[in-house]
Amino acid sequence: MLSVAAPAQFPPDQGIDIAMAGRSNAGKSSAINTLLGRHGMARTSKTPGRTQLLNYFELVPGRRLVDLPGYGHANAPGEVRSKWGPLIEALRRRACFGALMLLVDCRRGLKDEDLGLLEWADLPPDCLHVLLSKSDQLSRSEGLNVLRQVQAQLEGIASAQLFSSLKGVGLEEARSVLKRWASRDAASGKAEGK
């Protein structure tokens, strides 16, 4: 694992960076821990808005998960926000920036800020996937209703699924998306103009 606080510290621009994003408290750290099967890797209890670093987790050599700072909290000091703006912008501009998984609390649903983040990523639909987190908090039929609604909102933009770190719901589906992405080489794909 590597923590990046400035663009000079990015790992080599090769292979693929898979960004993990979400509003603070959406369940992103828990999802990273569950997906990687390594508990305690991404901190699950932290002061909202305080994560300023980009934390990298290597899946296999050259294939990396990048934990983006949680967004949506007004209490992050202005200086911090203005600092991580350019940093995640630099991340997005890397040739290897190839996919993004977005955590959305299934009880909150998809908000404008989430759609804005997907738009910011500027990636094709098969490179954007939404995990509707904490699905254990809804009944099966409520969960399916939320999923259908979100899929309609994301038509032509991204795929989506129900997910629960607590109960392991959707774990295999989410891992298979990561596996598909990790088999790609975004850096060379973009270099070749694909």
What does the binding site for ligand GDP look like in residue numbers (CB under 6 A)?
22, 24-30, 44, 70, 103, 133-134, 136-137, 164-166
Nearer to ligand GDP, 33 or 98 (CB): 33
Integer angstrom CA distances of residue 76 from 56, 152, 165, 172: 22, 32, 26, 34
To ligand GDP, the closest distance from the beta carbon of 95 in angstroms equals 28
Vertex 160 angle, CA 118 and 92, to 5°: 25
Nearer to ligand GDP, 4 or 95 (CB): 4
Nearer to ligand GDP, 67 or 185 (CB): 67
Question: Which tokens belong to 39?
Answer: 């508990």
Token match 């998306």: residue? 177
To ligand GDP, the closest distance from the beta carbon of 168 in angstroms equals 9
Token match 């719901």: residue? 169
To ligand GDP, the closest distance from the beta carbon of 110 in angstroms equals 15
Closest by CA position to 56, among listed 10, 93, 95, 24:
10
Nearer to ligand GDP, 29 or 186 (CB): 29
